[in-house]
């Protein structure tokens, strides 16, 4: 036990001192409230899984980014980079005995490790919501509604956020229609996923060289993304029955979101492809409306995944929403609650002779559900009042020798500064707190937002 150097946290990891933890709890509380309003049940899995659970089913994009290592038992393992494979594994063991659909949510911490990415976080928390065993586009709409309501619960409205939606099957029908062979579809997705971030010449080059598509097909693909809205696509491919079928489903999806009061938040956008290989239908991402930040949320339908990792064949749709971009957006919109400490009572003693009484009062008030702090032994009265202010005490209870001799205590309301005497007996035998819950030591203002934006 010799004294040595100072330590720092690992690069890419965050500490959560109380002010950061209060913000994290603010997000988690909102996510939990909204999940429950939609009837979703919370679950969790281990932060560490067998490596193959991830390499098995994901596209190439994820594999190089895994936080992977060999454990002491020689197993190849990985810190979880996403929750869906764990969900699939857990349901694989038990879904056959469960009524469908299954509505589950979780808030895991996820991990990535890319080398040579200075300043990039290697962990984040992600709200995961999955609806398993329901086929129709109503299920897709219900899941997107959970995501949007989670953001509305945090105060974000239709001026702040926008969901962009597409459909892998519609995109497949369109690509097939302009000449992409079925075997080249996944490779084509990977290239057109970048269509908004790379110049058209680069996209054309990659479609030609990497995917090996003919000149005419490449031209047809680029034309698709010139007008990526639903109506232009529907008009241009009105003769294609598969495209027409998928367009009708997309309209039904939009009508469902209209019923749910969220249509103004949603727009069709063919450029939304999603990186992961396992999506099979509608896909969506949520962005800030000004387009200043990276995506806040991404999700979609993945009907084959559960069977792939050994479960029963079950359709599924879900999303993940990270805490990092969302916290940045809330801060920019002035929607992150101000951090302030708060306890119900701080007990000040004038002399150490009142210390025992202070503890008995503290005990009685805590048993009644209140939050109570008292001063450290030997602290001056001035220091005790300074500590009370620092703790955010609503009320200070002052125990002085004269008052105690008369079996009373002085209460000072810390906001108004008003003082009044109360019988000690009432403090030692308080009525239970009305709300049954102590004033939080880290409450942060408006936790529940009005919900009339849409």
Whole-Å CA distances, 92 to 123, 206, 317: 27, 38, 16
Range in contact with a copy of itself (rule: CB under 8 A) among 138-146, 192-200, 294-302, 321-329: 138-146
Q: What track of x and - describes contact with a copy of itself for positions 64 through 83 (by CB under 8 A)?
A: ---xxxxxxx-x-x-x----
Please tell me the total number of residues recorded for the chain in this structure.
454
> Residues 176, 182, 188, 189: is their CA dihedral positive or negative?
positive
CB-wise, 233 or 327, nearer to a copy of itself? 327
By DSSP bridging, strand 41-42 and strand 102-106 are parallel
Q: How far is the CB of 218 from a copy of itself (least distance, A)?
A: 25
Q: How far apart are the first and last CA of the chain?
A: 61
CB-wise, 237 or 284, nearer to a copy of itself? 284
Q: Which residues in 178-207 contact a copy of itself (CB under 8 A)?
A: none
CB-wise, 173 or 387, nearer to a copy of itself? 387
Residue 321, strand partner residues: 127, 297
Q: How far is the CB of 222 from a copy of itself (least distance, A)?
A: 28
Q: Which residues in 152-181 contact a copy of itself (CB under 8 A)?
A: none
Name the phi and psi angles at 176, rounded to 5. Answer: -60, -40
If DSSP codes are grouped into helix, strand and coil, which group holds residue 395? strand
Rounded to an integer, what distance in angstroms lies between the CA atom of residue 136 and that of residue 134?
Answer: 6
Q: How far is the CB of 295 from a copy of itself (least distance, A)?
A: 24
Task: Give the CB-side neighbour count of residue 259, counting CA atoms within 13 A.
Answer: 9
Rounded to an integer, what distance in angstroms lies between the CA atom of residue 66 and that of residue 63?
Answer: 6
Q: How far is the CB of 42 from a copy of itself (least distance, A)?
A: 5
Q: Which residues in 298-357 contact a copy of itself (CB under 8 A)?
A: 304, 307-310, 341, 343, 355-356
Residue 430 lies near a copy of itself (rule: CB under 8 A): no
- H or E, element range at 232: helix 230-236
CB-wise, 216 or 451, nearer to a copy of itself? 451
Chain mean position to CA 81:
15
Q: How far is the CB of 294 from a copy of itself (least distance, A)?
A: 22
Residue 405 lies near a copy of itself (rule: CB under 8 A): no
Structure tokens at 44: 């969790």
Q: What track of x and - describes contact with a copy of itself for positions 98 through 137 (by CB under 8 A)?
A: -x-x-xx----x---x-x-------x----------x-x-
Question: Which of 181, 261, 275, 430 lies at the binding interface for a copy of itself (CB under 8 A)?
Answer: 261
């Amino acid at each position: 036990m010799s004294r040595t150097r100072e330590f720092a946290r690992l690069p890419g990891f965050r500490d959560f001192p109380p002010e950061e933890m209060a913000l994290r709890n603010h997000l988690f509380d909102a996510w939990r409230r909204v999940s429950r309003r939609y009837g979703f049940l919370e679950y969790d899995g281990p932060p560490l899984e067998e490596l193959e659970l991830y390499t098995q089913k994901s596209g190439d994009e994820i594999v190089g980014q895994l936080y992977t290592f060999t454990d002491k038992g020689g197993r190849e393992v990985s810190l979880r980079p996403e929750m869906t494979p764990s969900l699939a594994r857990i349901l694989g063991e038990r879904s056959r005995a469960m009524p469908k659909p299954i509505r589950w949510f979780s808030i895991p911490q996820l991990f990535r490790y890319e080398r040579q990415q200075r300043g990039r976080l290697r962990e984040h928390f992600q709200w995961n919501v999955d609806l398993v065993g329901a086929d129709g586009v109503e299920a897709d709409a219900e899941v997107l509604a959970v995501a949007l309501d989670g953001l509305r619960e945090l105060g974000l409205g239709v001026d702040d956020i926008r969901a962009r939606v597409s459909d892998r099957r519609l995109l497949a029908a369109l690509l097939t229609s302009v000449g992409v062979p079925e075997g080249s579809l996944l490779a084509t997705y990977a290239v057109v996923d970048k269509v908004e971030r790379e110049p058209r010449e680069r996209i054309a080059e990659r479609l030609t060289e990497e995917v090996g598509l003919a000149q005419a097909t490449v031209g047809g693909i680029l034309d698709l993304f010139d007008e990526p809205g639903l109506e232009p696509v529907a008009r241009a491919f009105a003769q294609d029955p598969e495209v027409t079928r998928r367009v009708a489903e997309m309209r039904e999806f939009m009508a469902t979101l209209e019923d749910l009061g969220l249509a103004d938040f949603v727009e069709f956008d063919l450029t939304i492809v999603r990186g992961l290989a396992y999506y099979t239908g509608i896909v969506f991402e949520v962005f800030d409306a000004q387009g200043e930040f990276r995506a806040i949320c991404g999700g979609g339908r993945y009907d084959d995944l559960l069977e792939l990792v050994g479960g029963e064949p079950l359709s599924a749709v879900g999303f993940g929403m990270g805490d990092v971009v969302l916290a940045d957006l809330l801060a920019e919109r002035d929607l992150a609650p101000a951090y302030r400490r708060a306890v119900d009572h701080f007990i000040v003693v004038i002399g150490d002779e009142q210390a025992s009484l202070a503890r008995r009062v503290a005990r009685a008030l805590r048993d009644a559900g209140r939050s109570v702090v008292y001063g450290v032994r030997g602290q001056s009265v001035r220091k005790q009042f300074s500590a009370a202010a620092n703790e955010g005490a609503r009320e200070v209870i002052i125990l002085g020798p004269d008052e105690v001799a008369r079996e009373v205590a002085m209460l000072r309301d810390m906001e108004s500064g008003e003082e009044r005497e109360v019988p000690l007996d009432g403090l030692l035998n308080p009525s239970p707190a009305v709300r049954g819950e102590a004033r939080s030591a880290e409450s942060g203002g408006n936790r529940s937002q009005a919900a009339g934006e849409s």
